[in-house]
Structure 1
Amino acid sequence: MEFFTIGVYNSTEDEFFDKLIQNNIDTFCDIRQRRGVRGAKYAFVNSNRLQQRLNALEIKYGYIPNLAPTTEIRALQKEIDAEKGELKSERQELGKVFVIEYKNKILGHFDFEKFFDNLDNIGATRIALFCVEEHPEACHRSIVADKLQNTFNYKITHL
């Protein structure tokens, strides 16, 4: 298995899906807490539309809520963003407090072996981890990717 990460901010619908196609993604893991984005600009990644498009592209979709940060952990990052005067869509990196809490409360309890078994069972080989932020360093998907690479030796590509 090989893992990829992808965000949507600052991508058009065509650019977003082209990245998946060009990288031969066969399985798409949605690791957002909420599977909707406000406004028309990114409506194509709202859960129903996203799943329909992925189905048409023959890409399997899975929602992995146990990898999503909790509301409390997200609130920590919102505070940091507010202090910096930074919008979520413009964020360049995660705050240290967010990273620590996410690792302790989410990754520390996530059953990676079961996750890998489930991926094996559906024949997944090229898996994209999805959340909305453009830059992986600004999103919890980079923390998951680091764990996959450093603990389990999987190759990671940020799209």
Structure 2
Amino acid sequence: MKTEIYTIGVYGSTEETFFSKLIAAQVDLFVDIRQRRGVRGNQYKYVNSNYLQAKLKELGIGYLYIKDLSPTKDIRMKQKEADKVIGETKQKRTKLGSVFVHEYVHQILEGYDIEALMRTIESEGYNRIVFFCVEEKAEACHHSLVVNRIHEIYSYSITNL
């Protein structure tokens, strides 16, 4: 079966819509690339690590956490500064700042072996893979940079859920 790559964020979703998207896309592996695996407050508690992993297991979806693909605190602060300049909040952001993109690619992606990751994932039989972080719009989150790199190497289709 052909490998398909997805991205998903949580902002703007409910628990029902979030998991429904995964089910509809027949996702078989959920790759969490957040720095911290929790979200403050009750609104998005369903993506806090323990609950999320239990729910994914119940749905028959594998879970993989890759902290090495999360942006460092320094990189996140640079994005926060860029957001402040244009008066945008993290939850309303529509795209990543150029400084964030440059730093993330240079500090994180260039040193990460995406091909080894994909070989491992595919050798375990996964072929409908979603990359997760909190931002709703893929262009506003580092998971878009990760999946774009995968697309550059493998030409896999990418769909934002």
* TM-score bracket, shorter-length normalisation: over 0.9
Pair 1:24-2:26 in alignment: yes
- Provide the secondary structure at the position in 2 that maps to 1:36: coil
- The residue type paired with residue 137 of structure 1 is E
Distance 2:54 2:159 in 1: 25
CA shift, 1:116, in A, is 1.2
Distance 2:154 2:108 in 1: 17
Q: Tell me how many residue pairs correspond in the alignment.
A: 159
Distance 1:45 1:9 in 2: 11
Distance 2:118 2:136 in 1: 26
Pair 1:85-2:87 in alignment: yes
CA shift, 1:117, in A, is 1.9
- Provide the secondary structure at the position in 1 that maps to 2:131: strand
How high is the sequence identity, in percent, across the aligned residues? 51
RMSD of equivalent CA atoms: 0.8
Matches within 5 A, 1:3-82: 3-82=5-84
- The residue type paired with residue 146 of structure 1 is N
The 4+ residue runs of structure 1 with deviation greater than 3 A are: none
TM-score normalized by structure 2?
0.96
Structure 1 partner of 2:116: 114
- Provide the secondary structure at the position in 2 that maps to 1:62: strand
Distance 1:146 1:26 in 2: 20
- Provide the secondary structure at the position in 1 that maps to 2:46: helix
Unaligned runs of 5+ residues in structure 1 are none
- Provide the secondary structure at the position in 2 that maps to 1:151: helix
Distance 1:114 1:64 in 2: 13
CA shift, 1:87, in A, is 1.1
Unaligned runs of 5+ residues in structure 2 are none
